Structure 1
Amino acid sequence: MNKDTFLQAVTHPVNITGQDLEALEEVVGNFPYCQLAHILVAKATYDGSGMLVPQKVRKAAAYAISRDALKKLLVDRHEAVKDQSSETNQSSPASPESTRVLPAVEAAEPEVSSLAFDTPNSREDELLNELESTTHVPTASSPDEPKNLEKERQLRIIENFIRTQPRIPTMRADENTLPDRDLAEKSASLNSKVISESLAKIMVKQGKIEKAIEIYQELINKHPDKKTYFAEKIDALNAKN
């Protein structure tokens, strides 16, 4: 079936011929999940009142999105055909053959309608009902749930940090960062190798002027070339003292 023929069947399903029905059956075989093809096959078969009507209608109902729409498509057209036949019967005498066919169609209609739409007797209906019963929409999560999840995540990070880093190592105190530390005890045992102008300045800062003067005197002996410089420092300290 080409595209134009298929579109014609979709637009005018009441005009589907026997040849079109065979082509639609082939489409269903090649594309079993094409719900539109199943519906058109069911429509053409239903209008023809063949023996395969229940089977085709059930299959179309299994693939149809709206069974009510499918039922309306099938039954409304059939009712229109019956009304047209009734008008024809009023205008002209019915032939014996048509008298035998119409009651058969009318008797088959309630059976097909009930079988396909009212009760889930087919395997397709059972599968659909089972799917509907097992499928549910997830309940909306509480507004506080994302906050709780984020809080739990943060707690896990903290706990992991505590396990991997049980303690933070203490920093060693640097003597240079503690200028106010009392160095009087150490200065008593200092030898000439550690005596420096920096130590003298520390003594001055701690108010130990005499100890600073002693250090400058030692520096004069250690560095005679700087005697004038250290002598000036001693004079300045004596002036303060």
Structure 2
Amino acid sequence: MTYDDLSRALADPMTLTAYHLDDLLELSRQYPYCEALHRLLLIDLYRSEDVRFPAELKRRLMYLHDPFSLLLALDATSGGPQSHSYDLIDRFVRSYRPEESTVSEETPAATPSAKSPTKTGRTKRETEAQIVQDFLDEGPEAEKIRIRPDSKEDDVALPPEDEDNGPLPGEELFTEKLAMMYASQERYAEAMTILKTLNLKYPEKSGYFAERIGQLEQRRKGLVAD
């Protein structure tokens, strides 16, 4: 995939073809926290009617800030659902969109700690800009965007592949584990929203979830060292 290919795809996903799938898979492994790459890959898999779409959807949907926008994008690129795979997103989004919309506007955005300036603290725009910068740094020899030599698949924080390509287990994705994943990325607002939703869903565990929410609030304020 050339720089121009990637730029066109970011501007208009309709330019993607099955030819770009392998490059998008490699780029998403190299930049696992770049939401735009996950979106482009899922759109391309869907438009190509690739059999890997359901499995990749399970692994990557949690990385999207607004899954409902992906649903609209897929609908726009194909003119409507092509298979049962479309229903996987539909069921997940319609089940959890009300809870996701309850994020408090008063909650300040998490600020990356000075001790851990890792790529997990980068914004989506910064990550996308880094992709372009990496390409420019290679100069005229950078005909193609490719995986870095020191890149290891084991370093990528994608969930493991699941042999079961059945319906998306939305209730399993929207769990404390997902909340802790957000917390590890210092996205405390999202983590606390998930825990508050679970607290409402499982009132018998309200004490436990209240404690976890309190711990995250302390970490967000820098009262507890990571």
- TM-score bin, normalised by smaller chain: 0.3 to 0.5
Return the TM-score normalized by structure 2: 0.42
Return the TM-score normalized by structure 1: 0.40
> Which has the bigger relative contact order, CA under 8 A and spacing at least 6?
2
Tell which structure's C-alpha radius of gyration is larger.
Answer: 1
